[in-house]
Amino acid sequence: MSENGSGSTTSDDRDCYTNLLHQPSKRSSSPSSRPPQSRRTNPPGLIVRGRVFHVRVKVPRKVQATVGRTQVWRSLGTPVRSEAIRKSKLVIADIERSFLVAAGASDPERVCAEIAGSKSASVDPATGHAVTFGDLFRHFHADPAKVRAPKTRVIYDGLLWITSSLWGEDRLLTSIDRAACRDLLEVLRWLPSNPVKRFPSLNAVQAAQMAKKTGLKSTLSAGSINGYMAKLRALMTFAVNEGWIDKNPATGLNVIDPIRDKDKRRPFSGNQLRSIFHAPIFTGCVDDEWHYASPGPNHPRRARFWVPLIGLFSGLRLNEICQLDVADIQTVEDVACFVVRGDPTGRAAKRLKTTASERIVPVHPTLLQIGLLDYAETQRSKHAVKLFPELKRTKDGYHSDGISKWFRRFLRSANAEAPLTCFHSFRHCFRDALREGRVPHDIGLALGGWAVNAGQDGAERAYGSGYSTRTLFEGIAAIKYPGLSFGHLLTHSKAS
C-alpha cells in the first residue's frame, strides 16, 4: 500500500479496502467494562443466515462498476462461531485481493466470477464464462426435473423480454441484486397491458416510461405483476440451488393486490343459472354450432350441452372436462365416476393445474338422470378416444380454448352475462353448494381438487388411500341448486 509524505495512506488506496479487517476495538480494555460472554457480538461483516455463518464485504466504489455489485456475500460453510471467525479472515483477505485485481483487471468477467465465489459455482460449465441472466434462463428451461405447460413458458418468455429491455441478457447473474429487482418491479408497475400491440416500436422499459408519462390507465394488473415476480423468484431459486448466487434477491417483492381473491370471480346467481340452462341449446335449438341461440326442434347433445352441466355438478375445471377420455368415465366400487388424471403415457396430452387435481369425482345423480352415461356409451361404441372429440387440442396443449371463447359469446346470447362471471363461476357455485349441503371440509377439498395448506394437514393426506368412493358419492349427492329445475332435460335424455 502506497503512502504519502506524512506516512498516511492516500484516499484512493483506502477506497480499495473495506474496514472489516484489523479494526481497533472501541471497547475499554478494562475487564470490568467487557460484556458478559453470553452477550458477545460477531465481528463486523460476520452474519448468521439460518444456522450457517456468512461474511459480507462492501465493494469499494471505484470497482463497483467492474464487479457489478455493491456487496459480496460468501458462505463460510460452518455453524461454529470460532471456526467462522477463523475462516472469515482468510475469505475477506481473498476478496480484498480480488478488489485490487478488479481495479486494473483485463478480464472483468473472470474477476467477477472469482469474487462471486468458487469458479465451479459461478461459471457456466458450457461456456467457461461467468453465468449471465440469459444463461440462467436457458439452464432453467433445460432442467429435466420440470415440465412446464406452454402457457407457463409464454409467461417466462414475456419476463425475458422485459428483463432483456432492462438488464440485457448478458448481465452477470451475480450483479442482479435487490436494487435491480426493485427496478424490475417499477417497470412492471407502469408496463401497459399488451405492450407489444400498443407500442410495437418500443421495448418494455420504453413502453413503461411512455405509459407513466402519458398517465395510461390500462397497465398490468396486480395479479400479473406478482405473477412475473413469482417467475423471477423461481429463476433465482434455481440459481441458488445451482450454487451460482448465495441468496434470492427477489424474495418478498410484490405489489398489494387491491382485489381479494374471492372477489376476482363470482358464482353465477340463480337468475343467471336459469338463463343459462333454459337457453335454446338446452330447450331446443336449430343446431349446436352457428345457430345454438336460435330456438328450434333439435336437441343435440355434444360438448356445448354437456360441458356446462358437468361444470355445475362436478366442480371440474374447464380444461379438466374438455380433455376427458371416454375411458375416464369409470365405475369404481359400483359408483360411476369421472377419473381426473394427467397423461399416463407421459406425453403431456392432459394437463392438470396441481398434483391435488388428480382425483376421482362421482357422477352427480342429476347427470345420471339426464343421460351422461348413455352419451359416454355411445362414444365408446364409436371407438372414440375423447369424450368430446369435436374439441381439438391446440398447439399450447389445451382442449378448452375453443369452448372457452364460445361460452363467453353464449353468456351474452342467453342474457346471462354479468361482471366477474365466466365458466370458472360454475366452480364457485359448486363450492357454495358444498357448504350449503354441509359436506365436510376435507371431502369438499377432495372433490374439488383443492390443495390443502402446507403443514400437518398436508402431511396427513400422504397417508392412507383417501375417502371411499361411496363416501365421495354421498358428498356429491348433497349438491343441490334450489330454484333451478332440470326436468326439461329429462324429456330428451335419449336424444343424440
Residue 120, H or E segment: helix 119-122
What digits encode the pLDDT tens for the residues 211-224?
A: 888 888 888 888 89
User: Per-residue pLDDT averaged across 345-353, rounded?
Assistant: 63
* Neighbour-count burial of 209, counting CB atoms closer than 10 A to its CB (0-12 exposed, 13-18 middle, 19+ buried): middle
C-alpha distance from residue 202 to each of 162, 199, 205, 208, 362 (Å): 11, 6, 8, 9, 52
Query: Which pLDDT value is given to residue 96?
Result: 74
* Confidence band for 118, pLDDT divided at 50, 70 and 90: very low
User: Per-residue pLDDT averaged across 437-442, rounded?
Assistant: 92
Output b/e per residue, 50-63; b: 16+ Cβ within 10 A: eeebbbbbebbeeb
Nearest Cα to Cα of residue 68 among 111, 106, 117, 97: 111
* Confidence band for 148, pLDDT divided at 50, 70 and 90: confident
Query: Which pLDDT value is given to residue 241?
Result: 86
**Max Cα distance, the chain (Å):** 107
C-alpha–C-alpha distance, residues 307 and 316, integer Å: 10
C-alpha–C-alpha distance, residues 219 and 248, integer Å: 27
Between these two residues, 471 and 463, which has the higher pLDDT value? 471
Query: Which pLDDT value is given to residue 88?
Result: 79
Q: What is the pTM of this model?
A: 0.60
Residue 85 has pLDDT above 80, yes or no: yes
Query: Which pLDDT value is given to residue 44?
Result: 77
Between these two residues, 290 and 81, which has the higher pLDDT value? 290
C-alpha distance from residue 348 to each of 150, 344, 396 (Å): 11, 8, 11
* Neighbour-count burial of 151, counting CB atoms closer than 10 A to its CB (0-12 exposed, 13-18 middle, 19+ buried): exposed
What digits encode the pLDDT tens for the residues 278-289?
A: 999 999 999 999
Question: Left if phi > 0, otherwise alpha if psi is -120 to 50, otherwise beta: which for 282?
Answer: alpha
Q: What percent of the chain has a predicted confidence (pLDDT) above 70?
A: 77
Side chain identity at 463, as an amino acid letter?
Y
Residue 436 has pLDDT above 80, yes or no: yes
C-alpha–C-alpha distance, residues 359 and 354, integer Å: 11
What digits encode the pLDDT tens for the residues 16-62?
A: 433 333 344 444 444 444 444 445 667 777 888 777 788 888 888 87
User: Per-residue pLDDT averaged across 139-145, rounded?
Assistant: 85
Listing DSSP states for 240-286 in one string gives: HHHTS-SS-TTTT-----SS-HHHHS-PPPHHHHHHHHTSHHHH-BS
Residue 321 has pLDDT above 90, yes or no: yes
Residue 88, H or E segment: helix 81-103
Bridge partners (DSSP) listed for residue 332: 335
Cell triple for 266? 363470482
